[in-house]
Structure 1
């Protein structure tokens, strides 16, 4: 639910990816438990692991480090819990959020990976990290689930909820469901890499602004929050009494990320044209020029994102 749909070119659907390739080896030993949601078989959207791997390094470099201090203070040594942290990763994709965050936190951890796609859950479980920052053990289980059905009971016992590139593909109702579930469970949430609607390309081009506007409109189709997501989600959490902090987390793409930049460009322009078909002829020329500049190492792109840390009141705290 956080990735480019398989029948769309990968646009600015920042997934939750750190590192140039998944840490760990497929098939490495570890504790992996698979759980189904009990729902009837449905056709599940499938997102390309290749795209998620391609963007993993850029995502890792972009994620803000500032939230880690308050987050560590909140989740370190939970009272009455000897078995360490329990982290729920929503819309986990291939599991890059865990590969990025688990090695930055001390103590034993158990990650519960949520996604609608069992294919991606398999990748996430197989390439999950095995140790925390201090060498403690990290274990993982997977759950097929949908954020629309998230409840405080779903997060019972959670120390932390994480997600990456999730908020912009939520509706306002789903944002409210997420905030209510975290608040009801009394756990903090670290929600990274949400688009803000701002893209900067260098050298500039007269069509940059129009493509950006059309893409942002595409992000908001069918009631999705798109670039408005961070503000809406922050308000939803604040309405439950959470302390909310946001931090910039921009992608900065240069010659070293040419493959990622080219894929992103195709998806970005493609979504804009889908939203405004009248752009097609000019956009085709624009894309050709931009791809040529990318291949020549002459293009720089900054895609603005924001990370959100919501510190919900612990269960039983005084209001």
Structure 2
């Protein structure tokens, strides 16, 4: 997994503000209300540079200990050595990291957990990896908050007939086989919900969206380029089609007339 799905810290930094705006505050507050014991121990899966911690910790009581799980030690280092993150009482949280593949996650890896979290993770997992994560969470028996799973729905304004062609190719790319791993893409969140419900857990979901426009043209431009690049990688025959499409969208971006809404879903699961 580490050789195939690594992302850059620059991209994670660029998207952090929009991720924070998009995630469901309602589900975060609901998760906070379920935490009864102190200190709070949060295990964050696929943590990257720690953006979920920086967003969620201020909603939760303290003292807090965060355990960041990722396959890329250079990403988690940003969170461990960076400026302190504060809980809702203004007290710094403690942070440790664990490097390993999530496919190997065991209940013992979530020791003393009060809450398990993840953000923008489910679509890059395989079915066995997701099964392993849900099984570990169920066996530990603590609330699980999974944010920003893509749904495959994208709306650009102004609209263009080629949007749908690119969108369908991108969604296929998210379901590709990479290094022998068949990715879940937009089916990650629905499958996770089904697995938790099959285990007898309660589940709440919330529709969450990125809304990109001229307030952050760099993020919009990076997202659009990545969206189209993935579509062409999946369907190389689209290269000629998207050449003029890119030029047109680039002109709209430069003039501040392009916007995009990218739909996600957040999920909170907890035992009955």
CA distance in 1, matches of 2:173, 2:150: 13
Structure 1, unpaired ranges of 5+: 2-41, 314-319
- Cα distance, 1:44 vs structure 2: 8.3
CA distance in 2, matches of 1:46, 1:69: 30
CA distance in 1, matches of 2:226, 2:69: 25
Task: Tell me, yes or no, if the aligned pair for 1:88 and 1:160 is still in contact at 8 Å.
Answer: yes
The residue that corresponds to 1:34 in the other structure is none
> Paired residue for 1:48, among 1, 5, 8?
8
- Spell out the pairing of 1:149-168 with structure 2 (5 A cutoff): 149-168=104-123
- Cα distance, 1:131 vs structure 2: 2.1
What is the Cα-based RMSD across aligned positions, in Å?
Answer: 1.5
Residue 218 of structure 2 corresponds to residue 259 of structure 1: yes
How many residue pairs get aligned? The number is 268
Farther off after superposition, 64-73 or 140-149: 64-73
Residue 72 of structure 2 corresponds to residue 103 of structure 1: no
The residue that corresponds to 2:99 in the other structure is 144
> Paired residue for 1:69, among 29, 54, 57?
29
Q: State the secondary structure of the residue aligned to 2:91.
A: coil
Task: Tell me, yes or no, if the aligned pair for 2:48 and 2:76 is still in contact at 8 Å.
Answer: yes
Task: Tell me, yes or no, if the aligned pair for 1:95 and 1:128 is still in contact at 8 Å.
Answer: no
Task: Tell me, yes or no, if the aligned pair for 2:28 and 2:56 is still in contact at 8 Å.
Answer: no
- Cα distance, 1:129 vs structure 2: 3.6
What TM-score do the two structures reach when normalised by structure 1? Answer: 0.81
Q: State the secondary structure of the residue aligned to 1:209.
A: helix
Farther off after superposition, 304-313 or 209-218: 304-313
- Cα distance, 1:178 vs structure 2: 0.9
1:168-206, Cα deviation, whole Å (9 max, x unpaired): 011111111111000000111111010000000000011
**Shift in alpha-carbon separation, 1:237–1:128, aligned structure 2, 3 A:** farther
**Shift in alpha-carbon separation, 1:46–1:170, aligned structure 2, 3 A:** closer
1:201-255, Cα deviation, whole Å (9 max, x unpaired): 0000110001000000000012211011111110011111111111011000110
Q: State the secondary structure of the residue aligned to 1:106.
A: coil
Structure 2, unpaired ranges of 5+: none
- Cα distance, 1:48 vs structure 2: 1.3
Higher helix share: 2
Residue 152 of structure 2 corresponds to residue 192 of structure 1: no
The residue that corresponds to 2:82 in the other structure is 127
